[in-house]
Structure 1
């Protein structure tokens, strides 16, 4: 790198890209949350039972969880611009036309369609982070784009409640759907799969993005991409990433499913108090997540800790914070309980800033979105199972205390998982073999664990 290139001021297009990634996730969560706020209106209009409404709400996860890996494979194969753009367009259209639903069956179908579209968001963002950001900035951008989910969750309910009061549920779905369609126009005009193809990215920023080993991995479409995706499971780090994120998501979904009920029934809050208190953990955790990503990148860039030590440090610190959910069970004051829950939720996001950087750290070649898809498939099983198990424990015991302690116990398992199962954080290496041999006998592909 010559002196003139080092001294030239860098353009900052990558942070514009980060903003688009963040807004896609924020819209993602607004669109998946609108049904919860509109549920009473839908139940009344279509005469839905509580069980039918529950099926409608869960239908989203049927397609969303199952299509994470296929979405990641498509993003790696055809590029994140096409896949993320098509995903946002698809789910926004599904949201906008929900107002045309005529009953239970059509609502289930439209929620499944929403899940199909939203499945492409996180795997695509993980791939974009690797293409557009050097390793020393990936936790920052991971914290930025994932924080959009907290803003979407915190802002969605009051925003949608206002729309429902001002218009009706049909118009509300249409308005929230249009947000994503507007995003798609900006995305097509601004984003390019490779920063080298973007006219506003200068040589200094491109050199910064491609710092060190990133250049070969960002543009790699070689032998690693030809290795079947299931071979990734031969590596311990893939298992550690999936197990850990499952435990984190199990806890995270408590805050967007059972927390309102907990605050009203267990802590005796009014609906107005609950609305404010339930939003605090989400708002605070959004800020903490961005800071945690930035801080971990600064630690790694300083050279004081290796990438492995940096990732494990912030994962463990975040999960120790997350274990506060167990302490909240015994808090005598509702305010102390909420404060502990704020610490717990913030802890899950400290860990999440590292979780979403890991696919870019460990994926071989052009397989980042695939690795992210695998990780997110398993993690969303935690989102599916968590609310059900919490409900079963509360129903059986009549108290949230055992449920919160169980959640805290899973966090302890997650800590041990990241400390001991997660190995050295580095790209998974596949031995190259001739294409003819690979086609003749797939067993000739050797995976280094």
Structure 2
């Protein structure tokens, strides 16, 4: 007779890990989606905003870039704040803050007020992914954490994908000003559920049994691991710098989909607002598929060369788009660009483990900071090009191709796998993360 046969039903149940951690994953995925809905909504509202506030292309580009600037500037400080104060407190505060500024977007009356509101909105959202990464690291065992991270990044794309039709519906129903208030209320609802259910430490949640805590022991060690050398100096080594630079290159291209794409489809291809809302869904939708495919690739496939191939494909497609007039083919090519480019996203975040080792979180935050500087630069540069070159969209696309080609070159030079032999410390890193 097996030993468990003599146990009571309650004792047998205690041997099976509870699944409270899956609820934490649900909070991470829902917030990832919500953050992208609130940040992408302005791209669909760009035309009525520009008309009401009398903004030209260059001014609108500055407004769209304000988010990226503050998001980049506050990325590391918000991550450090979460490490010190705890995820529960920080996430609740920043979600309420950025939701307030989402609502205040609808109260803007001129260029300056709109720029300030969007800048402050970006500062709040900067706290999202550093703290979600910490939350998943603390609440999930290694294997589950890999899958959850890949799904989280896919969810961000899908959240962005559903935003254009949602925003169009809200604009038609409430007007662009009140539609931002409606989006803000979603953040308040999320905070109420989060504060009620989430605890920073699994040990503080009475729903977590001993078996589930045992699964999370190594994750707890990872979170509590102390760094022994200066992080600032480490970031200026060649490999961390190349990792940051290649992520900047893809982000420069990606931000086109969440800022200028609706305007491009209207002006370069004569699409209506309704058609634009539907077409703009596809690139972000397929970007999510790219993230999932990348996360599920077999370990034996070199992530480094997948990234090289992905950037090369993006470059070729961007150079071909200006020569295509059929809007259906153009949007299919945009979806393919998004799919290929987002293949590099899980690879980039996983490479932070190989390159950063004990500084994995620091390298991740710095990489994301660099990426979001492109969120400031790319929309502004595109606005300047359009304002001074007669709405020449071809030049905008060609410059994006230059950055994607640079990304391919950086991945040829960057080999995160070479760091494996130097891996040190008590926390072993997942083999399935090998780029």
After alignment, is 263-272 or 333-342 more displaced? Answer: 263-272
| Contact 2:240 2:356 survives alignment (8 Å) | no
Give the corresponding residue for 1:159.
166
| Alpha-carbon distance change, 415 to 53 in structure 1, aligned in 2, over 3 angstroms | closer
Q: By how many angstroms is 1:358 displaced?
A: 3.7
| Contact 1:73 1:370 survives alignment (8 Å) | no
Matches within 5 A, 1:5-16: 9-16=16-23
Q: CA RMSD in A?
A: 3.4
Count of paired positions: 412
Q: By how many angstroms is 1:247 displaced?
A: 0.6
| Contact 1:30 1:156 survives alignment (8 Å) | yes
Matches within 5 A, 1:359-438: 359-360=352-353, 362-365=355-358, 368-391=360-383, 396=389, 399-424=392-417
Matches within 5 A, 1:219-298: 219-220=224-225, 222-224=226-228, 227-293=229-295, 295-296=296-297
Of 332, 342, 350, which aligns to 1:339? 332
Q: By how many angstroms is 1:242 displaced?
A: 0.4
Give the corresponding residue for 2:87.
80
Give the corresponding residue for 1:61.
68
| Contact 2:243 2:414 survives alignment (8 Å) | no
Give the corresponding residue for 1:218.
223
Q: By how many angstroms is 1:374 displaced?
A: 0.9
Of 150, 153, 157, which aligns to 1:146? 153
Matches within 5 A, 1:21-100: 21-43=28-50, 46=53, 52-100=59-107
Aligned-partner Cα distance in 2 for 1:105–1:64 = 18
| Contact 1:322 1:408 survives alignment (8 Å) | yes
| Alpha-carbon distance change, 325 to 52 in structure 1, aligned in 2, over 3 angstroms | closer
Q: By how many angstroms is 1:378 displaced?
A: 0.8
| Alpha-carbon distance change, 13 to 30 in structure 1, aligned in 2, over 3 angstroms | same
After alignment, is 94-103 or 155-164 more displaced? Answer: 94-103
| Alpha-carbon distance change, 253 to 336 in structure 1, aligned in 2, over 3 angstroms | same
| Contact 2:95 2:125 survives alignment (8 Å) | yes
Q: By how many angstroms is 1:11 displaced?
A: 3.5
| Contact 1:320 1:347 survives alignment (8 Å) | no
| Contact 1:364 1:429 survives alignment (8 Å) | yes
Structure 2 residue ranges without an equivalent (≥5): 5-11, 426-435
| Alpha-carbon distance change, 343 to 207 in structure 1, aligned in 2, over 3 angstroms | farther
| Contact 1:329 1:401 survives alignment (8 Å) | yes
Q: By how many angstroms is 1:74 displaced?
A: 1.5
Structure 1 residue ranges without an equivalent (≥5): 432-449
Q: What do the CA deviations read for 1:311-362 (whole angstroms, capped 9, x no partner)? A: 4254345434433333434446433332222111011222112223344555
Aligned-partner Cα distance in 2 for 1:43–1:264 = 14
Give the corresponding residue for 2:428.
none
After alignment, is 394-403 or 407-416 more displaced? Answer: 394-403
Aligned-partner Cα distance in 1 for 2:421–2:92 = 28
Q: What do the CA deviations read for 1:382-432 (whole angstroms, capped 9, x no partner)? A: 22222344455665497544543443343232233224224335598799x
| Contact 1:326 1:405 survives alignment (8 Å) | yes
| Alpha-carbon distance change, 130 to 377 in structure 1, aligned in 2, over 3 angstroms | same
Aligned-partner Cα distance in 2 for 1:56–1:276 = 24
Aligned-partner Cα distance in 2 for 1:415–1:139 = 24
Aligned-partner Cα distance in 2 for 1:427–1:41 = 55
TM-score normalised to the size of structure 1?
0.79
Give secondary structure in 1 for the equivalent of 2:367. Answer: helix
Does residue 116 of structure 2 align to residue 109 of structure 1?
yes
Give the corresponding residue for 1:443.
none
TM-score normalised to the size of structure 2?
0.81
Aligned-partner Cα distance in 2 for 1:352–1:272 = 30
Q: By how many angstroms is 1:187 displaced?
A: 1.6
Aligned-partner Cα distance in 2 for 1:103–1:329 = 34
Give the corresponding residue for 1:353.
346
